[in-house]
Each structure stands twice: as C-alpha cells, then as structure tokens.
Amino acid sequence: MIKKIFIMEKRDRLGYIEGLVSVVVNVLLFALKYWAGIVSGSIALIADAWHTMSDSLSSIIVIIGVKLSSRKPDKKHPFGHGRWEQVSAIFIGFLLVIIAYEFARESIEKFNAHEQANFGTVAIVATIISILVKEALAQYAFWIGRKTDNTSIRADGWHHRTDALSSVVVLIGIFFRNKFWWMDSILGICISLMLFYAVFDIVRDAISKILGEEPSKELLIKVKAIIGSTVEQELNAHHFHIHQYGHHKELTFHIKVDENISIKEGHELATRIEFEILIKLDIQATIHIEPVYVKH
C-alpha cells in the first residue's frame, strides 16, 4: 500500500510538471505569435496565437484535474472532486467558442475588404519556432502520459501537435501570400474552424464522462482475468458499470453464486475479488451477488 501511495504521488508530481511546463511555454509562444500577428497585420497568426493559448488552458485543466483528484473524498463528496476537471473543460469550451467566432467574423470582413497581410521575416521566424517547440512539447507530453498512464496528459500532447500542425498551415500560407491576396483571410477561417473542432472534442469528451461511459473491452478482460485467478468456480460476471471521478474509479457488477452458500461465504468471496481489483487496477469495486438460477 505504501508503494502504491508513492507511485500515485510520483504520478501526480509528473502531471504537475508537465502541466506547468506546458503553460509557461504556451504563454511565451502566445506572446511571440500575437506580437508577430500584430506587426504583420495577420488575422491567421493572431488566431494561431489564441490556438496556442487554448493549449495553455487545456494544460491548466490538467493541473486542476491532478490537484482535485489528489484530494481525499469528504462527507459531501464521497467519490472525490475529480469531475471538476470536466466542468472546467466545459467552461473553457464556451470561452474558446467565442474566440473562434470572433476570428471567423474578422477573417470574413477582411476577405470582403480585400485586405492583405504584410508577412515578413518576423512572422516566418515566429511560425517556425512555434512548430518546433510545439512538437517538442507534444513528445514530452506523450512520454509523461506513457509513464503515468494519464489520458488527460496524452490528450494535452495531441493539443500541442494540433497547434504545431496549424502553424504549419500558416507557414505554407506565408510562402503563397504573393500569389493569393486572400490567403490570410482563408487561413484565419481555417484556424477558426480548428478551434471550433477542438471545442467540440473537449466538450463532447467532458459531457460523455459526466454522463457516464461503458467499461472498455480491455478493462472487462482484465477484471474477468482477476476474477478467474482469485476464485475457482465460474461466477458469470455481468452487468458492468463504471463511474469515473478523475483518477478515482468506481466499478459495479453482478456475479452468480451457488444459492446454498451462506451470506458470510458470499460476502467473503465478493470482498476477495474487490480487494484484488483495487490492488491490481486501482479501481474501487462493488459486487452484487445473485443466485445462479436468477435471470437478469
């Protein structure tokens, strides 16, 4: 148990570090790209800067999620506070929708007015730096995600990579600016659409977790393997439900037992399985016992 606590503390610490590094670097990149966008008059660059800031916000969610997940359950919140991560994601999603809408509107106005951005060396250098730094952050987040098995950190890595790809799009547009006067406006709209999609993905994932999701096939295989290695008889485990609260997970399911065993024997059987699931999967399980003849 002490070893498990140490692993969880190390996992939380790595999550904090990844989140903090991501926030600091993204804020610096935001400032660089925003300044380059103002100097060049490019809506696409300014929109790309806010796309970078959206990654910073997602990293803040990672930090909040790690912090809340590490808090112990209390009387009012017996399952912990992990779902604040999803609530925060929804709030940030609404903020990003407003930002994306404004960039789309400004890009359309600029297109109708036939305005052309004055891309220069500053814009090119800022965009190249952004691509290299964001891909480095993505690789760092993926590495931390593999070490901690933290899905939110891995998602943060994909946010970094998405930002790097949007900067690649801007860079391509810069090199074609002399042939197409409308390039900046179109790129601004494209990045705005990327932001809309990012919001959709973030909010959909948050709402799905709040509503509750079915256990994955991989998890069911692991649970059934634990049951098989813990007891000899066939228990026909079924009716699985999982509830996620950040890092804390609650799993409920039914098992079928011989109707002739005592309540004490049934309780001891279920407790043994619950303990093994807790130790091996870090999931709090609750098992409902049914006689074998009962049809669910």
Only one residue has tokens 């290695």, namely 229
Q: Write out pLDDT tens, residues 127-161.
A: 888 889 888 988 888 887 777 666 566 666 777 77
| pLDDT confidence of residue 274 | 92
Sheet holding 248-257, edge to edge: 238-245, 248-257, 284-291
| pLDDT confidence of residue 250 | 84
Q: Write out pLDDT tens, residues 248-263.
A: 788 899 999 888 888 8
Residues of the chain with CATH 3.30.70.1350: 217-291
| pLDDT confidence of residue 117 | 59
Q: Within 10 A of 8 (CB to CB), how many other CB atoms are there? A: 15
As averages over each run of 10 residues, the pLDDT of the chain (296 residues) reads 45 69 86 85 76 73 67 67 67 71 75 68 83 87 73 68 74 73 73 77 78 81 90 85 76 88 89 91 89 74
The amino acid occupying position 137 is L
The amino acid occupying position 239 is H
| pLDDT confidence of residue 4 | 44
Name the class of domain 217-291: alpha beta
| pLDDT confidence of residue 90 | 75
Confidence (pTM): 0.57
| pLDDT confidence of residue 273 | 93
| pLDDT confidence of residue 191 | 72
Only one residue has tokens 């789309």, namely 104
Q: CA–CA separation, 139 vs 24, rounded Å?
A: 16
User: 2-211 adopts what CATH topology?
Assistant: Alpha-lytic protease prodomain-like (1.20.1510)
The closest of 239, 245, 240, 250 to 281, measured between CA atoms, is 250
Q: CA–CA separation, 214 vs 229, rounded Å?
A: 24
